[in-house]
Amino acid sequence: MLNHPALELVAQKSAPESFAPEASVAVLIPCYNEELTIENVVCQFKKELPDAHIYVFDNNSSDRTAEKARQAGAIVIPEGRQGKGFVVQSMFRQVDADVYVMVDGDGTYSAGAVHELIEPVLKHKADMVVGSRLHADSQSQFKFLNRFGNKLFLFVLNLIFKVKLTDILSGYRVFSRKFVKGVPLFGGGFEIETELTIKALGRGYRVLEIPTDLTGRPEGSHSKINLFRDGFLILNTIVTLFRDYKPLTFFGGAGLLLIFGGFVPGFIVLFEFIKTGLVLRLPSAVLAVGLVVSGMLLITAGLILHTIVRRSQEFDHQLQALADELRFNRLLMANTDRGARK
């Protein structure tokens, strides 16, 4: 198990969750036209986790995905809004469990690895465990462009959020109930994994990566990801969440750039003025003032937003503490009831 030192920077959430001794596990499989593989995926997870409920969220598949999943013993739930992100939003809202396993329906992840991924959540050591396909200990079959795209986004995200993650786009994850019920998600498509990772970091949840292998899809099965459209959406999500979660760095950085940009024409005008006593380049003077004033405005916006984000984080923390207390009381009452009945 890999407990990444950088991830320990992530603030620990308050009171530990108290799962019942027999914690319920839900396996969530988002699916769009996966008739070739879904049966096998459901059967393998049933074998590994015989007590778990397996949910296949079928997103308007035009093939026999739903039928095959049902035959294999999964609970099939249809989702009308097309897109993996919308499906994940529905899964998180509709399914009730203590531990949630999310995995692709294309059979590219190993069901056998699920125990290693679940353990940290069961032992209250993590709120989100990510099966990392790009870790040095993983043996993953990636297409060249996919590997390149993954590494590029990884580099940008690690730089912005000052972490050392090894995979931000993995579809194999395990979540605690607190995470699933506490994180608001808005992404509709393949940007959902990026959103899950950034919001987990930004909101102080404990994130853990465990190396997992990725195998290729079988002959005739096709990935639904569109490199350019989805790549753009993922980048857009990183930038948007950077703005929302670190406004001072985002606006402050842009503001400083403008101010330094304004120094160039500003100094030229200033030196000429010192030498000749005249402002010979009026447009340069106006440009310099414009850039510096715009930069200062951006920094001010960053400072205001930073305070708002801090305050809302405090508010969020208090809400989480309240939710923890309610959950704890509910479990206590359930245990007392059980004891009284015995």
Ligand X SMILES: Nc1nc2c(ncn2[C@@H]2O[C@H](COP(=O)(O)OP(=O)(O)O)[C@@H](O)[C@H]2O)c(=O)[nH]1
Contact 208, 1 (CB under 8 A): yes
Rounded to whole angstroms, the Cα distance separating 170 from 103 reads 9
Contact 119, 1 (CB under 8 A): yes
Closest contact distance (angstroms) between CB of 223 and ligand X is 3
Q: Which does 34 bind (CB under 5 to 8 A by kind): Mg ion, ligand X, none?
A: ligand X
Closest contact distance (angstroms) between CB of 298 and ligand X is 36
Contact 130, 205 (CB under 8 A): no
Contact 92, 181 (CB under 8 A): yes
**How far does CA 274 lie from the centroid of its chain?**
55
| Contacting residue, 12, 71, 82, 312, with ligand X by CB under 6 A | 82
| Contacting residue, 39, 106, 193, 195, with Mg ion by CB under 5 A | 106
- Which C-beta is closer to Mg ion: that of 79 or that of 104? 104
- Which C-beta is closer to ligand X: that of 225 or that of 296? 225
Size of the site for Mg ion (CB under 5 A): 3
Closest contact distance (angstroms) between CB of 204 and Mg ion is 29
- Residues numbered 234 to 273 that lie near ligand X (CB under 6 A) are none
C-alpha torsion 199→202→204→208, nearest 10: 60
Q: Which stretch binds ligand X (CB under 6 A): 81-89, 127-135, 148-156, 274-282?
A: 81-89
**Residue found by looking up tokens 């531990």 in the block:** 99
Q: Which does 59 bind (CB under 5 to 8 A by kind): Mg ion, ligand X, none?
A: ligand X
Rule CB under 6 A: say whether 34 interacts with ligand X. Answer: yes
| Contacting residue, 13, 84, 135, 206, with ligand X by CB under 6 A | 84
- Residues numbered 104 to 143 that lie near ligand X (CB under 6 A) are 104-106
Contact 157, 198 (CB under 8 A): yes
- Which C-beta is closer to ligand X: that of 39 or that of 104? 104
SS3 content of the chain, % helix, strand, coil (to 5): 55, 10, 35
Q: What is the DSSP letter of 74?
A: P
**How far does CA 286 lie from the centroid of its chain?**
44
Main-chain dihedrals φ then ψ at residue 321, nearest 5 degrees: -60, -40
Residues near Mg ion, by CB under 5 A: 104, 106, 108
Residues near ligand X, by CB under 6 A: 30-32, 34, 57, 59, 79, 82-84, 87, 104-106, 171, 223-225
